[in-house]
Structure 1
Amino acid sequence: MNSDGDDRLGAANGSTVGGLASGGVRVDAVNVAGLCGQALQARLGEIARAESGLAAMKADTLGEIARRNGDGAATHAATDAMAISGRKARSEVRDAVRLGELDATRQGLCAGSVPVGHAQLIARAAGDAPIDEEYLAGRAQHEGYDEFRRTIARHVADVNADDGASVLERQRKARSATIWTRSSDGMTVLNVCVDPVTGARLGAVIAAAERRLFRNEDTAERRTPAQRMADAVTQLICDPDAKRPAGASLIVVADYDMVNHQLTNGRLADGTSIPIGEIARVAVDAEVLPAIFEAATGDLRMGRSRRTATDLQRAALALRDKGCVGCGIAPGRCQHHHIDHWQHGGPTGYQNLVTVCADCHNDKIHQQGFTAQWDTANSHYRLQPPHGPADQTTNSTTTQTGPRPPPT
């Protein structure tokens, strides 16, 4: 293998059997230390496509065992052969059986065009409601995981005559929480699984608690984002009488049908669909911030009067960006980056702020020199790598030029 990244990785050539190449999936060994940044990126993409092919093979095998001997036998085989937990094995078998009935998804998985995680989302959605599988398999080839998760949620809500209420009810009944001690290091692990609306409320409160901790930290001894989240959750549970953190409002959005005079298309700030009737129920229990951003509702242009985004700005940015513009993670888990840097005179205004997670903010923007660029055609921001080799780094003095979003 030479250092220009011309490796051979993926399905070997050969006739196809049931959508899989008869030669299987081949991954050539390569000295990655000799690859340039662009070649490393390309290799990751090839590995991901090979993983999709392997996942299709595994699903075919588990599905065949289940067909012959039942789901229990397939679960036992998976637990034994792959050394995974019983819970994981049951999930693998369930997805495998569903994939056997989803031709477009399975073909995309075999070809490497549908990522493994996307295929799992489609399989699980198929268990919740009737779906247009070909439509979802097509979208899966072009959308990131978080964006596609929202696409799935909107689609399931659209195909349900009850505006997604039955899906939400099933999700609520499936809620669970576990707490255990990890044998490897003695750490206690808390795992909570809740429906999207409850998750959004939890996320908003936890994110607000994290911001409060960040403001009170010693700048010389910053916590890591993971440590800060752990401390925020611990504080909220162990000190429930503490004052509610500022900025913990739940943002819900709906369109108004002028013809029928009713609200439609209810959704959370990240685009996750929720039943319209849920908005009224949420309003009883939580502070709901209306998604109306005009001059009369508040100032979205703070200028140099403060560095951090206001609650109103965070709400407006959540609706505009729908999460991190680099990786798509939910807005409640994000920070806000000054496109024209604060230390160089950039204002704290709606048009100069962009939503990014901690990793994209620190690593991509401030370490690698990515810049925020407004995509006029699609009306959203995206992170643009610096000019030159992909592994080139730069300092954090770069500012963005080009078009900005229209004023709110």
Structure 2
Amino acid sequence: MERMFPAIDEDLREACEALERVCDRLEPGGAAPGELSSLLARFGEVKRRADAGFAAVAAEVSRQSRRELGKDGFARRQGFSSPAALISAETGAATAEAARLIQVGEAIAPRANLVGETLPAKHPHVAAAMRAGLLGMASAGAIISLLDRVVVRAGTAACERMEEMLVEHAQGLTSDALRKLLLEAEARLDPDGAAPREGAAHAARRLTFRRDRDGGVSFSGWLDAESAAPVLTAIDSSVTGILRRREQCADEAMRDDRSVVQMQADVLVDLARHGLGCEQVPTRPTSTVVVRMALDDLLAATGVRPLGEGAAEVRVPGEPDGVAGCAVGFATIDGVEQPVTAGMVRRMAADADIIPMVLGTGSECLDVGYRYRSFTPAQRVALAERDGGCAFCGAPPGHTVAHHIRWWSQGGRTDLGNGILLCTRCHHRIHDDGWEIRIEGVGRDGIPWFIPPAWLDPLRAPRMGGRARYALTA
């Protein structure tokens, strides 16, 4: 073995030996919850730090294997067609994962200019977070891919500011929460591209059927956000009603034992049957699609109010000459992760089953205090805006119920500060396991915090919940 860095090689050898000793002694079976949490955190840190170092090595492997070197490239000399194939063979990972490792490594490695001077990494904030063991490979790769995709339209300065924000917010997020964060970031960085993307997405909608030999039919399709919203709302609200009735059913013989996917299929069939036999529009929907848009965004998008100080000037899609200094404005749809433009909101608002919700800054009229036990529809919509669905697991708003943090029977007020959206499973888990809930802030700007029980986490470190976990404005 050629030892270009003998000290580093020796350190790595010792680290491998130490890890081997740990794994030989490791018997996690029967570990206490607190111990298991600690092991999970330690191994997670080891993996993140190892990935950061390995990414730098992968970048160098790629540099020494670049195409212009031909057969003299490092990978070709090792008998592989590409650096990704070489890394895949060495690690046992898929070629796509090896390619992402190279992508991240090249983005976080120091660079050199034409005269040999050392320059900062292409993505310095991602690089710093990875070296500190705070950001994993998957999150780093997703952030880098987004920024590289929009940098030409958004500009280097805007992308660098967004990179810093994304790195701060991405730490500890699940893949689903990170996806929501990146969707919002792309909408902010490339507002001019939102309307064309929506048009292309709508044109790409499809639904196909394939009939099997046994008479069954399989479905395959894709819907844009605007088309998917009423479909998701109709199915989710019906399934949620079934689950709630099942939860309240004390007679085991009468309990609905269908799985969620079976319920979804049955609801689709019921909707089709209703459509075939319906001779008039239903008098009133039992559920609605809620579209949320900040008042400032709405006013700016319509040209009534200019952008705030420090915001980038953009052109408004749909205007003949554009409107300099006016924002496109974005909204969110309950149950749909992709932010949508003000133009789509205007189209959707023409539907009688759509509630366009314009959000102000205060919540005074939503706090009704102790007089009412049940949360009002307006309060529930405000809770959905704050929590984004189940504040604990992130399930869509249609799968949740508004609960009192301090029970109403014990004097808890029926207002936003004492309310939280939880799905049935998380509600039982939090109460049964002894979690505590606190709301930091007021109104829809409040942030839910979940404090685990001591048996699960001896330090009882609070965990952020709700929309703030993946909202760039948190």
Superposition TM-score, scaled by structure 2 size: 0.59
| 1:380 maps to which of 426, 447, 451 | 447
Unaligned runs of 5+ in 1: 1-13, 181-187, 393-408
Aligned-partner Cα distance in 2 for 1:60–1:192 = 41
Considering Cα pairs closer than 8 Å and 6+ residues apart, tell me whether 1 or 2 has the greater RCO.
2
Question: Match for residue 288 of structure 2?
Answer: 248
| 1:41 maps to which of 33, 37, 44 | 37
Structure 1 residue 124, shift from structure 2 partner:
3.9
Question: Match for residue 46 of structure 2?
Answer: 50
Aligned-partner Cα distance in 2 for 1:327–1:229 = 19
Unaligned runs of 5+ in 2: 1-6, 68-74, 109-122, 152-158, 211-216, 275-281, 306-326, 459-474
Contact 2:294–2:359 (Cα < 8 Å) also in 1: no
Cα displacement string for residues 125-181 of structure 1 (whole angstroms, at most 9, x for unaligned residues): 24542243742553245463355433322221222150633444566677788999x
Structure 1 residue 207, shift from structure 2 partner:
2.4
Contact 1:210–1:229 (Cα < 8 Å) also in 2: no
Secondary structure of the corresponding residue to residue 240 of structure 2: helix
| Cα separation, partners in 2 of 1:115 and 1:74, compared to 1, 3 Å | closer
Secondary structure of the corresponding residue to residue 290 of structure 2: coil
For the pair 1:135 / 2:164, whether they are aligned, the reply is yes
Structure 1 residue 206, shift from structure 2 partner:
2.8
Aligned-partner Cα distance in 1 for 2:136–2:228 = 25
Matches within 5 A, 1:14-93: 15=8, 26=19, 28-29=22-23, 30-33=26-29, 35-53=31-49, 55=51, 57=54, 64=62, 74=84, 82=92, 90=96, 92=97
Structure 1 residue 208, shift from structure 2 partner:
0.9
May I ask how many residue pairs the two structures share in their alignment?
362
| Cα separation, partners in 2 of 1:31 and 1:335, compared to 1, 3 Å | farther
| 1:362 maps to which of 422, 428, 450 | 428
Amino acid at match of 2:133: G
Question: Match for residue 180 of structure 2?
Answer: 150
Higher mean alpha-carbon deviation, 271-280 vs 311-320, is at: 271-280
Aligned-partner Cα distance in 1 for 2:222–2:51 = 25
Aligned-partner Cα distance in 2 for 1:59–1:246 = 55
Superposition TM-score, scaled by structure 1 size: 0.66
| Cα separation, partners in 2 of 1:195 and 1:358, compared to 1, 3 Å | farther
Amino acid at match of 1:149: R
Amino acid at match of 2:290: L
| 2:400 maps to which of 334, 337, 342 | 334
For the pair 1:325 / 2:398, whether they are aligned, the reply is no
Aligned-partner Cα distance in 1 for 2:399–2:329 = 24
Larger radius of gyration: 2
Secondary structure of the corresponding residue to residue 274 of structure 1: strand
Question: Match for residue 277 of structure 1?
Answer: 343
Contact 1:36–1:391 (Cα < 8 Å) also in 2: no
Structure 1 residue 272, shift from structure 2 partner:
5.5
Question: Match for residue 210 of structure 1?
Answer: 239
Contact 1:128–1:167 (Cα < 8 Å) also in 2: no
Cα displacement string for residues 31-85 of structure 1 (whole angstroms, at most 9, x for unaligned residues): 335644333222212222233345554896598489758999947995998586x
Aligned-partner Cα distance in 2 for 1:170–1:80 = 41
Question: Match for residue 99 of structure 1?
Answer: 104
Structure 1 residue 381, shift from structure 2 partner:
1.8
Secondary structure of the corresponding residue to residue 290 of structure 1: strand
Identity %: 21
Aligned-partner Cα distance in 2 for 1:153–1:71 = 35
Cα displacement string for residues 291-350 of structure 1 (whole angstroms, at most 9, x for unaligned residues): 45999xx9775978775x554333211112223333444434433322233565756554
Question: Match for residue 331 of structure 2?
Answer: 267
